[in-house]
Amino acid sequence: MRPLVLVLILAAVAAPAAHAHPFTLETWPGGGVNGEVGTTQVWVIYSEEVELQFSSLKVYDGAGNQIDNRDTAYYIDGASLAVSTPPLEEGVYTVASKVLSRVDGHLVPDTFVFAVGDIVLEHDPDDAAEELVYIPEAAARFPGLAGQTILLGSAIAALLVWNDRYRRRVGDGAEAASAAHRSRLTGVIGASLIAVLASNIAVLAVQTVRLGAFSPETLETHFGQMWIIRMVITGALLALWFATERRGIGGRTALVLIGMAAVLLWTSSQIGHGSATGNSLAVMLDYIHNWVAAVWIGGVAYLCLILVPSLASAGGRDRAVAVMLPRLSAVFTVCLGVVIITGPLLMWTLESDLPTITESVYGRLIMAKLALASGMVAMGGYMQVTIMRPEGWKGAWGRLRRGLRAELAMGVALLGVVALLINGTLPAGEIRAAGEAAPEGLRLTEFTGNTKFSIDIQPYTTGLNGIYVTAATLGGDPPPDQSGIRVKVSNPARNISPISVELQHTGTVGGVPEYSGEVTFGFSGEWILEVESQRGTGANEVVTVRLPVAADLESLRVRMESHQLPAPAKPLHPVRGGDNIWISDPSAPRIWRFDTSQETFEAYGFEGGSSVFLDVGLDGRVWFTDPVAELIGYLEPGTGEITTIPVPRLEPADVGNRLMFISAQDQVWVAAATKDAILRYDTDTGEFATFQTGLGSFPFALAPGPDGSMWFTASGGGFMGRISQAGDVDTFAPDGGMASPEYILFADGAAWVSEHTGEALSRFDPLTEEFSKIPLDVPGGLPFGSALDAYGNIWVAQHAVDAVSVYSPATGAQRTVDIPSEGAFAQFAVSGEGGVWMVEQQANQLTRIIPSDSPSTQVPPRPEPETGLLYTEVASPLTAAGILAASIFFVKSVQDGRRLEREVP
């Protein structure tokens, strides 16, 4: 019976997955925190996409007056909204969010409170109760859920067992049984379709009440389109049912019903959690999960409502039931096996934190579903054992009838719980702080052929860290001959040889000895950690881990040194060449040189209009663009001599060449924004080659990539591109494009693009060609140029505010650093020795930003380790055991079926 028990446990996932709701992930200003005086924008990021025309953000002041500009719009993408406000003064403000889910059509309200200035909030902004389960929507969708389940399961079950092979067992009264079966099957399918139709109407009615009025635009949303498809399919099914009502539903008609019902189930998956994730695997798992669950529960309904009552007056009802039941039992067992695989996998894609699941309302509903599903499987297993045993077929009809009533009642109740889950909030939406309170540090599990290492490093930053290690056999037992654990730390890139540390035995975790000690990561970078389990007799077990160690942004000390230009100017773009910082000047035909060792400026003039963008070539020449005179040129650092090169007027000739960035490597590249082209200048032949980037693309920034290609941004087209060494032009953009991409920086194996009006960094992986967007926490800042510091952090100039953003690719953390100058208008920066050099155009100065790390000097108290099981530690063994159990019961059902066909007369 152990396999049956395991199937019972895993049967909790035997119903369709819950649907999604757009809960709040992040806000600016953050709920319960203080924003800056003068804030002019509020934005909210949600867990899924929302419909803009039915969503809004409203900002109220302390007197209850709505003070926003009523211009709610998408912020980053379809899963975020923003609204502008007048400059906010000191006070307390409330934001009311109301969004319509693009996935499942639920209207979800939310509120949060923030303060501006030095005001102290007097209440907890999270005190407002949230609607975690949407009861009206659950009541509206329950009939449709039950109807489509019974429709699909009944049609499949009828095809499987109501055929000549099994009907001949009915004996006396076969004709009456066939008539009763035809009538009941037609009636049940008709009732199921009416339930689906009523549910469709009720769902739209509930949504209309939620919105306050019906709007035809509702049907233009993703959810509305799915609703229309459901109505069309329901209408087609009803027409088919009316056409076949009198003659009954035959085999071909049943196949058509099954196909259309499968499409009906597909619409459910399109408004489910899987669809909300945008993960095609999750959508597929959700659909398969729904399908096999409907076959199981709908099959039970077929037995209880159609087959068993149809055989009531048949003389051979016990014989018929005895030979039909093993066939359905085998199908149900296969369904359970598939559910056992798809259910845990689907749950893992949606929420894999076990404590979060168990502590939520969603988790308690899962427990209720577990109890009901376990009861159904237990009842089915009991009937299988009693009816399929030798001579057990006698009296089978009566025992099956009594058991089916209870099993179907549990199935209907289970569908009711599923309706609540469908219209409930995922655990992450209810317990938003899940993961936020997790201890800092790094926890790893590594394996060798015979040993499992658990490694915990606290606080996992530069400086002194505590390390805690356990080594166990793959079965979880202490190694029988372990004498100790030693670790070695090294950094080959900085020529730091392995430093060995003998860890001390300090306790026991789960019956396995734990060893601890201290290791030091002297600076940011990739460190090599080698952990060795020392054995008394056998060979030592060793595992090696590469650790990207980064400085903590919040503890990073920042100092700024400013150098005023000696004459009025409009410095713009800095580049580094040796010990010099070269700076362009759009206000005059000149280039500035700042000697970093002498801290002196020198200007170099030329015949032209201005210098805008610069680059230093491999030979040390300083190249520049002059969009006023439509020329490029270069400065010889040794002599100060400047040579200018006219750029030929491109078509259309009546529009000037608006020259932007220049990049000087083996060849010289220049972006001609107004001509939607990039030019390549051959320094040997003096000829220009033209590469078109697309009408309206407005190419702006250039950057040589590690692959030897020339990369560019198209600020007008919202994309980035690449010109290969062969001269091919390829373009790349995320869904929806980028909002004015202006600058490219290659770091950490990726291209980082500043989205000027998008107020974000976009990371592009050249290998996978995938984008990810990082919103920068500086509303209205307009990010522009960026540069790397010695710790691998990206510094982004925010030219519309007096601040610079710092982002750590290693940790994903970000920080905002204020610029002391008022109205600095910093647009570009460049990496340099000891820091980042930034030009403040309006302040007419060059500023050196000097970040310095504050390494940890003591090991903090160790956070209490979590003692609970991980989701994978629960799901993996149970899934494997469940598959084995389902396989055993499937084989048993097939063997019982063959035996009963021989034994039953």
pLDDT tens across 742-801, in order? Answer: 999 998 889 999 999 999 999 999 988 999 999 998 888 999 999 999 888 999 999 889
Cβ contacts of 277 within 8 Å, gap of 6 or more: 349, 350
> Domain for residue 54, yes or no?
no
Quote the CA–CA distance of 261 and 147 in Å, as a whole number. 10
Quote the CA–CA distance of 771 and 713 in Å, as a whole number. 14
Q: Residue 177's pLDDT band (boundaries 50, 70, 90)?
A: confident
Q: Which of 260-264, 275-279, 468-472, 512-516 has the lowest mean pLDDT?
A: 275-279
Its domain, for residue 803, covers 557-852
Which pLDDT belongs to residue 178? 77
DSSP state of 424: B
Q: Residue 394's pLDDT band (boundaries 50, 70, 90)?
A: low
Quote the CA–CA distance of 553 and 783 in Å, as a whole number. 19
Taking each helix axis as running N to C, give the angle between helix 135-161 and helix 317-350, from 0 to 180 degrees, rounded to the nearest 10.
140
Q: Where does a domain end: 405, 432, 459? A: 432
Which pLDDT belongs to residue 302? 81
Which pLDDT belongs to residue 627? 93
Same domain, 634 and 760: yes
Same domain, 217 and 237: yes
> Domain for residue 128, yes or no?
no
Q: Residue 227's pLDDT band (boundaries 50, 70, 90)?
A: confident
Quote the CA–CA distance of 305 and 180 in Å, as a whole number. 11
Q: Are 635 and 591 in contact (CB under 8 A)?
A: yes
* More confident of the two residues 637 and 173: 637
Which pLDDT belongs to residue 129? 40
Instruction: Give the best-scoring range by mean pLDDT among 798-802, 856-860, 876-880.
Output: 798-802
Quote the CA–CA distance of 97 and 110 in Å, as a whole number. 5
What the block records as the tokens of 481 is 């001959």
For 315-348, what is each residue's pLDDT tens digit? 667 777 766 777 777 777 787 778 777 767 766 6
> Domain for residue 75, yes or no?
no
Beta bridge partner(s), residue 232? none
Q: Which of 40-44, 182-186, 318-322, 695-699 has the lowest mean pLDDT?
A: 318-322
Average pLDDT score over residue span 249-259: 79
Instruction: Give the best-scoring range by mean pLDDT among 207-221, 312-326, 422-436.
Output: 312-326
Number of domains in the chain: 3
What the block records as the tokens of 328 is 């359905």
> Domain for residue 123, yes or no?
no
Q: Is the pLDDT of residue 452 over 60?
A: yes
Q: Which of 117-126, 654-663, 672-681, 873-882 has the lowest mean pLDDT?
A: 117-126
> Domain for residue 568, yes or no?
yes
Q: Where does a domain end: 832, 852, 872? A: 852
Same domain, 498 and 630: no
Same domain, 413 and 524: no
Q: Is the pLDDT of residue 609 over 70?
A: yes
Share of the chain above pLDDT 70, in %: 78
Which pLDDT belongs to residue 453? 93
| Ramachandran sector of residue 684 (left: φ over 0; alpha: ψ -120 to 50; beta: rest) | alpha
Average pLDDT score over residue span 206-231: 70
> Domain for residue 109, yes or no?
no
Q: Are 835 and 889 in contact (CB under 8 A)?
A: no
Q: Which of 340-354, 365-379, 660-674, 769-783 has the lowest mean pLDDT?
A: 340-354
Same domain, 426 and 515: no
Tell me the pLDDT of the chain averaged across its residues: 80
What the block records as the tokens of 878 is 């149970």
Q: Where does a domain end: 550, 583, 600? A: 550
Q: What is the CA radius of gyration of the chain?
A: 35
Which pLDDT belongs to residue 804? 95
Q: Which of 257-261, 730-734, 749-753, 819-823 has the lowest mean pLDDT?
A: 257-261
Task: Please choose, from the candidates 154, 113, 468, 465, the residue with its C-alpha nearest in 3D space to the C-alpha of residue 307.
Answer: 154
* More confident of the two residues 322 and 817: 817
Q: Residue 863's pLDDT band (boundaries 50, 70, 90)?
A: low
Q: Is the pLDDT of residue 810 over 70?
A: yes
Beta bridge partner(s), residue 529? 489, 545
Q: Are 329 and 400 in contact (CB under 8 A)?
A: no
Average pLDDT score over residue span 541-555: 88
Same domain, 372 and 465: no
Taking each helix axis as running N to C, give the angle between helix 280-302 and helix 396-422, from 0 to 180 degrees, rounded to the nearest 10.
150
Same domain, 532 and 606: no
Produce one character per residue of 880-902: b if its CB has 16 or more CB atoms within 10 Å, e if not: ebbbbbbeebbebbeebbeebee
CA atoms within 13 A on the CB side of 564: 5
Same domain, 423 and 487: no
Cis bond before residue 652 (omega within 30° of 0): yes
Quote the CA–CA distance of 67 and 547 in Å, as a whole number. 49
3 state SS for 141-204: HHHHHHHHHHHHHHHHHHHHHCCHHHHCCCCCCHHHHHHHHHHHHHHHHHHHHHHHHHHHHHHH
What the block records as the tokens of 135 is 């009861």
What do you get for the CA distance between the two ends of the chain, in Å? 30
Same domain, 528 and 645: no
What the block records as the tokens of 452 is 């499992």
Q: Is the pLDDT of residue 159 over 90?
A: no
Same domain, 224 and 275: yes
Average pLDDT score over residue span 607-621: 94
Q: Is the pLDDT of residue 8 over 60?
A: no
Same domain, 678 and 751: yes
For 684-727, what is each residue's pLDDT tens digit? 899 999 999 999 999 999 999 988 999 999 999 999 999 999 99
**What are the two backbone dihedrals, phi and then psi, of residue 863, each rounded to the nearest 5 degrees?**
-60, 150
| Ramachandran sector of residue 620 (left: φ over 0; alpha: ψ -120 to 50; beta: rest) | left
Same domain, 629 and 504: no
Query: Other CB atoms closer than 10 Å to residue 696's CB: what's the count?
Result: 9
Which pLDDT belongs to residue 124? 42
Task: Please choose, from the candidates 80, 49, 20, 78, the residue with its C-alpha nearest in 3D space to the C-alpha of residue 282.
Answer: 20
* CATH number (domain holding residue 530): 2.60.40.1940
> Domain for residue 47, yes or no?
no
* H/E run at residue 454: strand 451-458
> Domain for residue 402, yes or no?
yes
For 75-95, what is each residue's pLDDT tens digit? 878 888 999 999 888 877 888
For the question of whether the overall pTM of this predicted structure is more than 0.95, the answer is no
